[in-house]
Structure 1
Amino acid sequence: MKTLFIWMMLIPLLCISQNQQETQEPLIIVTMMIAPEPGDFFKFREGIKEHNNQYHAEGDLGVRIFQVMNGTNAEKMMAVMGPMPWSALDKPMYDREAHDKDWYENVVPYMKDEQDINYWRFDAKNSHFPLNFEMSKLDVTTYDFKSGTYEKAMEHLEKISAVFKNQYPETPLGIYVNEFAATKDGRDLSLVYFFDDFATLGEDHKWKEKFEAQHGKDSHEKFTKDWMELINGAQTEIWVYDQEISGIGPQVTTKTEN
């Protein structure tokens, strides 16, 4: 049965750390995987497009939706909410009855009943968002950490963060920790790299050289060995921003503090 809270999950991706400074609360990202029925794909797109334009085109309830290109979730869509404090979910919502009526009549009938919802804490300290960039394509790698390795893993993430901030200052990087991670689902942390052109995936970004420029000669080999001892595995997906059916545009106008 479709959850009554689906409507809460169709909201934006990046308002960035400025909000955290204002609220002094940890920020979260909420993601929901959506699978349209293949035979109703175009009806689904039309329904969610009109729904987002009417109810999620601005403010805290603005929507961004991404197409998943590869892996077991290929051809599904990802809807994202946040960053926002947990307390934002306690605020009254506008005209919920009209919203839900439109959602269940014009969108839900064209969806498969297999949503996957996760809550992710935004790591503002280690993430890196330069001022003024636009959503386009995301390289999302999700890691499964071995039991008892979380603190050590976060120390390693600080090293990754330092390379992005100092060696790739124009490249946005987001780090998110699963608030309700389970030992069996393998999704403890997501590292999100933002890029504009697919050609970027075929380029040599000289990661090893940049890493050692930041942390010293031969530091990359040791880091890689130690990192692999902390994880059970990882999975990478490419997400593509779908502006046509998103409620809000691709612009991100704030940045993290380095």
Structure 2
Amino acid sequence: MKLALVLAMVAASAMAADDRRSGAEFMSAATQAMQRDDAQNPGMLWIAGGEAQWNTSCVACHGDARSSMRGVAARFPAFDAGSGKVVNLGQRINICVERKLHATPLRLESEELLGLEAYVAMQSRGMPVTPPQDVETRAAAARGERLYNQRIGQLNLSCAQCHDQQWGKRLAGSTIPQAHASAYPIYRLEWQAMGSLQRRLRNCMSGVRAEVPRFGAQELTELEAWLAIRDQGMQIESPGVRP
């Protein structure tokens, strides 16, 4: 039964592969140029802070991030045996802070954690998203898929209704993208700041007038795991820029 579940999820991902488009394709030419050029990309300010933190706290164990972290972000979310659950990249960084540095975990959605996460993610830029194949991560992704397809909120909408069925159309003056997550953390012009994928997911849930889980809630991380399945093979773009 578990094998059938895995095969069904892979097949669902493969069927949509030819039509998949990065969120960057739905942006204006100016915003696309901002993402491509590191000298213009505002997310690089957070990455500079993340690099400074890396060289202070992480380099002693992990060495040069350009080699040791190459490909790491492409493999998250992933099951963490010590926690007994699937974690995203930011949560994995905090596990390292707590277990290895014996320090207080960084506050979720803080500039410090976003900077470190973005710095690590940038080392995988251009590499394909490669979700883990272990049973625990796949089971979490299956739960995330159910949430992705579940109607929620007063507007009674699911993620799939917008991003699978209506992408490319207009909503409130903006083009609906396909909800691919390979550019996170992103700098969003609306926020005037860097933000995590969970921040964006919570914004969507608020938009349909649903109950919004807290940052770090397991259902959000499992939804991220499903989005990684949908993104399999797409290129990591972090740090992304979005409207």
The structure where strand makes up a greater share of residues is 1
Structure showing greater radius of gyration is 1
Q: Assess same fold via TM > 0.5.
A: no
**TM class by shorter-chain length?**
under 0.3
In the superposition, the TM-score normalised over structure 1's length comes to 0.24
The structure richer in helix per residue is 2
